[in-house]
Amino acid sequence: MYYRALGFQKDYAWASHDDIPFSPPKIPLSQATVALVTTAVVDASIPKPVREANSYPIVDVPDHFDTSELSWDKETTHTKDRESYFPINDLRARELRQEFKALAPRFHFVPTEYSQRHTIETDAPLITRHCLEDAVDLAILIPL
């Protein structure tokens, strides 16, 4: 009913994958390169129909992501505290304490997409390729 209230013709069918390729880490966390993947909008100046999954240098994390168009309870919460949904400062501190080897050189943006097919066929392969290029061992997925 929530999606119908937003104007969609039918309720959203949540993805279900019994054969997901997730597995326990094969190396200790202290040896891992960690990437962040978020649905928070990195560049609000790019209009929604044009937004695509993309990767950005980890040194260029914006001070604030645009979350205004995303569907979340804007009456009882907010996204003014970037660290609450993109914990880059905490992860940088953990990296300095050598809790993991390194943050990946890039973080990744995947726009909120109603089409599971687009996510599976377009966005996921792009982010996977970028993570492989960056020798990422673990990814932290942050849906907003």
pLDDT per residue over 50-90, tens digit each? 678 999 999 999 988 887 776 667 787 778 888 988 999 99
E strands, the chain, in order: 33-38, 54-57, 102-103, 106-109, 138-142
Q: What pLDDT score does 1 carry? A: 66
28-53 pLDDT per residue, tens: 999 999 999 998 888 777 777 667 89
Strand partners, 106: 57
Q: What percent of the chain clears pLDDT 70, i.e. is strictly above it?
A: 91
Domain ranges of the chain: 31-142
Strand partners, 36: 140
| Token representation of residue 15 | 């993805």
Q: What pLDDT score does 30 carry? A: 95
Looking at every residue in the chain, the average pLDDT score rounds to 86
Nearest 10 degrees: Cα torsion 56, 136, 129, 114: -70
Provide the whole-model pTM.
0.82
Q: Which of 96, 130, 107 is nearest to 40 (CA)?
A: 107
